[in-house]
Amino acid sequence: MSSSERTAIAAVAWGSNRLDIFGLGTDHQMFHKAWTGSAWAPSQTAWEPLGGIFSSEPEAETWAANRLDIFGLGTDSQMFHKAWTGSAWAPSQTGWEPLGGIFSSLPAVASWGSNRLDIFGLGTDHQMFHKWWNGAWRPSQTDWQPLGGIFTSPPAVVAWGSNRLDIFGLGTDSQMFHKAWTGSAWAPSQTGWEPLGGKFSSPPAVVAWGPNRLDIFGLGTDSQMYHKWWNGSAWGPSQTGWQPLGGIFTSPPAVASWGPNRLDIFGLGTDHQMFHKAWTGSAWAPSQTGWEPLGGIFSSPPAVVAWGPNRLDIFGLGTDSQMFHKWWNGSAWGPSQTDWQPLGGIFAHP
């Protein structure tokens, strides 16, 4: 897979036992399905149409119970947005709000508080651009804040606390770069970026399991998984070093955390089967370089979400372009270790 490819699926949870999944149909319209706590809606294999014609995979975020915000690039490479307000889709069931810009990468979005969204994407000059919502769009409805850099991968962003953001991307030398919003300023500067070393063939994946903690993953040029962490005072294993986690992967990683000092990472092997590794708080399981097989044959990178302690939900597109689902309930994988639940649909790979 190319360094610009990420999952064709967006999955998000706004509360316990709630899931919302998005993907693009073969007509490049956005489609949606929800797990309501007892059933899939509109049904296990049916999907709700949300309109639009998109040239990028979706990105979704939630900043409150019963609130969803979805983003994607239109055929003009402009950013578009739709929200679920708790009772209806806005601006309408099939309408989308234009947010301006001309982008060469799919968006990345994070929320660090109620009524707050931060969206990032690469412009046609491969510079990073940023827009935020704090009750209104800033710097304006259609303008974007330039953040410098020249990138070859879509961005990854995470918020580990109020008024804090960390953004990652690959430079033209395939090295990882990082920038942070500290609450009052961009560090190292508005257009400067901190080098983190490595040489990567996939976009980064990042997660935060607590205040002042970050874990970043990516595939090296040997297709092995690599890991770096921020512990509040320093990068580990070093500023430019990375921890090898083994495996040979054909998809970018997906990562989630369901509790303090817990990480779960997923990726597709050379047989396109799903593989999994977990950080249990003291060690990697099944081992530092070993991976657990989860079955399936997939044509898209995975998407993963955690809606509570010891709960994971993983999604991917099968070779028939249908959506498939697996879950961890704290004691076992469902529907089984290597089986997957079919969720219907026929989805596009923009």
Give the model confidence (pLDDT) of 74-118 as tens digits.
Answer: 999 999 999 999 999 999 999 999 999 999 999 999 999 999 999
Given a contact cutoff of 8 angstroms between Cβ atoms, the answer to whether 79 and 129 are in contact is no
Q: Which domains does the chain carry?
A: 10-342 (2.120.10.70)
Q: Give the dihedral of Cα atoms 193, 77, 113, 267; nearest 10 deg.
A: -70
pLDDT at 2: 33
d(CA 162, CA 47): 35
Determine the average pLDDT of the residues in 313-328: 97
Give the model confidence (pLDDT) of 173-209 as tens digits.
Answer: 999 999 999 999 999 999 999 999 999 999 999 999 9
pLDDT greater than 50 at residue 4:
no
Residue among 96, 95, 145, 94 nearest 120 (CA): 145
Given a contact cutoff of 8 angstroms between Cβ atoms, the answer to whether 74 and 115 are in contact is no
Per DSSP bridges, beta strands 68-73 and 79-84 are antiparallel
**Amino acid of residue 12:** V
The Cβ of residue 142 has, within 10 Å, a number of other Cβ atoms equal to: 13
The Cβ of residue 349 has, within 10 Å, a number of other Cβ atoms equal to: 12
pLDDT greater than 70 at residue 143:
yes
- Backbone dihedral angles phi then psi of residue 164, each to the nearest 5 degrees: -130, 130
Give the model confidence (pLDDT) of 265-300 as tens digits.
Answer: 999 999 999 999 999 999 999 999 999 999 999 999
pLDDT at 1: 32
pTM: 0.96
Which residues are paired to 341 by β-bridges?
A: 325
Determine the average pLDDT of the residues in 123-136: 98
Given a contact cutoff of 8 angstroms between Cβ atoms, the answer to whether 298 and 316 are in contact is yes
Print the SS3 string covering the chain: CCCCCCCCEEEECCCCCCEEEEEEECCCCEEEEEECCCCEECCCCCCEECCCCECCCCEEECCCCCCEEEEEEECCCCEEEEEECCCCEECCCCCCEECCCCECCCCEEECCCCCCEEEEEEECCCCEEEEEECCCEECCCCCCEECCCCECCCCEEECCCCCCEEEEEEECCCCEEEEEECCCCEECCCCCCEECCCCECCCCEEEEEECCEEEEEEEECCCCEEEEEECCCCEECCCCCCEECCCCECCCCEEECCCCCCEEEEEEECCCCEEEEEECCCCEECCCCCCEECCCCECCCCEEEEEECCEEEEEEEECCCCEEEEEECCCCEECCCCCCEECCCCECCC
Q: Which two tokens stand for residue 111?
A: 């929320």
Residue among 58, 93, 46, 82 nearest 323 (CA): 46
pLDDT at 243: 98
Confidence of residue 350 (pLDDT cuts 50, 70, 90): low
pLDDT at 8: 80
Residue bearing tokens 């953004």:
167
